[in-house]
Structure 1
Amino acid sequence: MKKSAWLPAAIAPVVVAGAIAAPVIANAAADPVAGTDPSAADVLASIAASRDAQYSGTLSQTSDLGLPELPSGSGGSSLEGGASDVLGLLTAPHTARLYVGGEDEQRFQLTQQLAEQDVVRNGSDVWTWDSEERKAVHLTLPAGSDAPTAGATTPAQAAERAVAAITPSTRVSEPTTVRVAGHDAWQVTLTPRSDDTLVGSVRLAVDQQTGLPLRVTVTAAGQDDPAFQVGFTSLDYGAPDARLFDFTPPAGADVTTKDLSDAGQHRPSQHGQSQGAGVRPTVTGSGWDSIVELPTGDSARTTRDPDASALLDQLTKPVDSGRALQTSLLSVYLTDDGRVLAGAVPVSALVAAAK
């Protein structure tokens, strides 16, 4: 049975892109390609031209990853990374509104179970708000960083990750015409040449007039129906009301302030560590077969959380030297020594990489 869900941003880079760091096939910005017969490279390059677009729209995301439906709201706000909420966002239905006034003006509204979660960015200031918990967080971001989106991913974010994953191991189709949310779009299909990845294809629909990604669809290997899709169901261009990007916490709200403005100053050492930021994730393999290994400390904190530990026991199964979860697009392997490996590959590939 298909489920409507929001794909957590921590997982989306692996599922949608199939890789974390890879060269881009079309790295030069291009003008939108309306009224022509563009190449695939033209369409992909036109995405860069949409960074300054102003618009308001409604997003719909569906996923059929083979996970059981889990309730959200019992493990802390998804804005704070509660374990049950992250998994709930994978399996339960949600709707969202997105307002964009430019690269540094965005408002994301996620509605679920009579509650609302908002992320409001205005320059380097970001506010997150959870109406159910009555909690607000004020973040000061480092220059050039992206704002969080309540554990979700947008078509633009998903498309940019997919484009960044294009390597010689990817077959790129010629564009075809489709219509999304009342707008004409060019659709390009990315197909991994590898037989070892769980990803079958990624389809990107890009507005012919603006270059804005309107929809991203991912199918699992050997399947025809989408395993994951995020796209606009309605979209209106033009500057949203400027008041949407201002936020004042309601009276009595629990407010937390976090200054992240100097986070970008930390640099990795020769041993792969970042001063003040712990151990950096490592990537092995290339293209769609890439495997990400997360720091040991992150896994240890998760297993000490009773809610997270119970969910892991429910969703994972014992494998050699650890436990593992495999969905239609993503596998996660938690080793007995505290490491976490993930990738768009079978669990057996993760186990082999951990040895």
Structure 2
Amino acid sequence: MAPYASDDRTTAEPAGDPGRGRRRAARYVVPVTVMGVAAATIGLVPAIASSGDPDLPDITAAQLIEKIAKSDVEQLSGTVKVTTDLGLPDLGGLESSLTSGALGQGGDGSSADPSAKLTELASGTHTLRVAADGPERQKLSLLDGSEEYSLIHNGKNVWGYDSKSNEVFHGTVDEPAGERGEHQPPATPKDFAEEALKSVDDTTSVTVDGTAQVAGRDAYKLVVEPRQSGSTVGAISIAVDHETGMPLKFTLTPASGGAAVVDVGFTKVSFARPAASTFDFTPPKGAKVTEEGALEEAERHAGKDSGRPGKAPESEEDLGEGLDSMKVLGEGWNSVATFDTGGPGLPAGGTGSDLDGFLGSLGDRVKGDFGTGTVFSTRLVNALITEDGTVYVGAVTKDHLVKTADGAK
């Protein structure tokens, strides 16, 4: 059995305090939380690398996974292209309105807050500039023409800077971002690959499928495919640097075919130590600086005064309690996570608030032994919210999800 073997079914949950830290961490990794479900548990089938261009020594899948595990790259800089196509519906500006609203631009929050800015990675194609110098210093910049958003971790300080609005977010961390703290979003092929290789069992085929060149470097191609039917995942391809063992490109294609759901790869990369000045940051003159504590206070006031149903802190507490009781049904790629939201689900007849009706129109009404509910679908993840507020979610087909929910009752 290769490294990363694990029987822990909770590895997809953020580490740390199960209260505030976990909930804020979840907000920062929204663009890639699907991998916590899609990765499930992976089996290993040894295979010899086929000949290809470049011509590299033969290697088995077991040896290649071990090579990834032993990779000790801590210094790097480069450019990463991220393309995400989950097949999310066009919300006609609703998403940006909800993000900015009380907590974003024009409200008491900050456009530089990572929890809002990094959700942009959930769809479309983006270019990132990344740099790292050990667990204490990392920098990620999201480029958009002449505009740039940067997230910088240097020691205990975390800075977010939005050049478009000239706003700054400042927070602190007590532990290195290498421990997957709340301000470090997965953004490189290595982050995705580690999620996909955390566990191994006989539910998956893992093979080496030749070689490739990525960002000018020679690499092996590791291919991960489910053996089980019912999964929405078709295959995961990981290009592994021949010299360092570091993943250079990660591609997840759906079982339904078509374009990749997630495609993350270096277009340029260097393993030299970045200049120390790369991680220095001083708020520009005239910039609006928002401290993390002040932002949380604004969130609490927004929840109380915005006129929205319920209050933000209470809703977060309810959700936190629901996640604490989360269970995993099934195994391998057909794993389905389930938890109670602590509140009612969507009305079966769509007769609730305007928001309930709108959300209901985006999903499919279903019935079963579990009662009545609504299934929301993307090209990778399906989620069922029942009328009583129970959630079932997984990288499985709609039919498999409903069947799992029926079996849970």
TM bucket by the smaller chain? 0.7 to 0.9
Query: C-alpha displacement at 1:146, in angstroms?
Result: 1.6
Q: Which residue does the alignment assign to 1:9?
A: 29
Contact 2:37 2:394 in 1 (8 A): no
Task: Please identify, of 121-130 and 156-165, the stretch whose mean Cα deviation from structure 2 is larger.
Answer: 121-130
Q: Which residue does the alignment assign to 1:156?
A: 190
Q: 1:132 to 1:53 in 2, by over 3 A?
A: same
Give the TM-score, by structure 2 length.
Answer: 0.66
Give the AA of the match of 1:38: I
* CA offsets 1:94-117 (integer angstroms, 9 cap, x no match): 221111112332101113476432
Q: Which residue does the alignment assign to 1:340?
A: 391
- Cα distance in 2 for residues equivalent to 1:69 and 1:18: 23
Q: 1:79 to 1:170 in 2, by over 3 A?
A: farther
Give the AA of the match of 1:257: E
- Report the number of matched residues: 317
Query: C-alpha displacement at 1:311, in angstroms?
Result: 7.2
Could you tell me which of 83, 101, 123 is aligned with 1:91? 123
Contact 1:78 1:85 in 2 (8 A): no
- Cα distance in 2 for residues equivalent to 1:313 and 1:113: 36
* CA offsets 1:250-296 (integer angstroms, 9 cap, x no match): 344232235xxxxxxxxxxxxxxx9xx64423322221111123551
- Cα distance in 2 for residues equivalent to 1:239 and 1:298: 50
Contact 2:43 2:201 in 1 (8 A): yes
- Cα distance in 2 for residues equivalent to 1:49 and 1:125: 29
Q: 1:9 to 1:159 in 2, by over 3 A?
A: same
Instruction: Classify the secondary structure of the residue corresponding to 1:172.
Output: strand
Could you tell me which of 205, 216, 219 is aligned with 1:171? 205
The answer on 1:39 being equivalent to 2:84 is no
Q: Which residue does the alignment assign to 2:257?
A: 223
The answer on 1:319 being equivalent to 2:354 is no
Contact 2:61 2:222 in 1 (8 A): yes
Give the AA of the match of 1:190: V
Q: Which residue does the alignment assign to 2:288?
A: 253
Could you tell me which of 218, 228, 240 is aligned with 1:206? 240
Q: 1:9 to 1:241 in 2, by over 3 A?
A: same
Q: 1:248 to 1:127 in 2, by over 3 A?
A: same
Contact 2:42 2:204 in 1 (8 A): no
* CA offsets 1:276-320 (integer angstroms, 9 cap, x no match): x644233222211111235515998xxxxx998687456433333
Task: Please identify, of 193-202 and 148-157, the stretch whose mean Cα deviation from structure 2 is larger.
Answer: 148-157
- Cα distance in 2 for residues equivalent to 1:137 and 1:150: 14
The answer on 1:331 being equivalent to 2:382 is yes
Query: C-alpha displacement at 1:217, in angstroms?
Result: 0.9
Q: 1:221 to 1:137 in 2, by over 3 A?
A: same
Q: Which residue does the alignment assign to 2:173?
A: 140
Give the AA of the match of 2:330: G
Query: C-alpha displacement at 1:40, in angstroms?
Result: 0.9
- Cα distance in 2 for residues equivalent to 1:307 and 1:59: 40
Gap runs ≥5 in structure 1? 1-7, 27-33, 259-273, 301-305
> Which structure 2 residues correspond to residues 106-121 of structure 1 after superposition, within 5 A?
106-112=138-144, 115-121=147-153
Query: C-alpha displacement at 1:330, in angstroms?
Result: 1.2
Contact 2:112 2:161 in 1 (8 A): no
Gap runs ≥5 in structure 2? 1-27, 46-54, 101-110, 294-316, 346-352
* CA offsets 1:6-47 (integer angstroms, 9 cap, x no match): xx8336343476245x47869xxxxxxx95322111211222
Could you tell me which of 122, 130, 140 is aligned with 2:162? 130
Instruction: Classify the secondary structure of the residue corresponding to 1:129.
Output: strand
Give the TM-score, by structure 1 length.
Answer: 0.75
- Cα distance in 2 for residues equivalent to 1:104 and 1:93: 28
Q: Which residue does the alignment assign to 1:66?
A: 87
* CA offsets 1:221-258 (integer angstroms, 9 cap, x no match): 14264232111111122111112223333344232235
Query: C-alpha displacement at 1:62, in angstroms?
Result: 1.9
Q: Which residue does the alignment assign to 2:349?
A: none
Give the AA of the match of 2:172: L
Q: Which residue does the alignment assign to 1:52?
A: 73
Give the AA of the match of 1:341: Y
Contact 1:17 1:165 in 2 (8 A): no
- Cα distance in 2 for residues equivalent to 1:307 and 1:111: 36
Q: Which residue does the alignment assign to 1:31?
A: none
Contact 1:197 1:345 in 2 (8 A): yes
Contact 2:44 2:206 in 1 (8 A): no
Instruction: Classify the secondary structure of the residue corresponding to 1:174.
Output: strand
Contact 2:114 2:183 in 1 (8 A): no
Query: C-alpha displacement at 1:167, in angstroms?
Result: 2.1
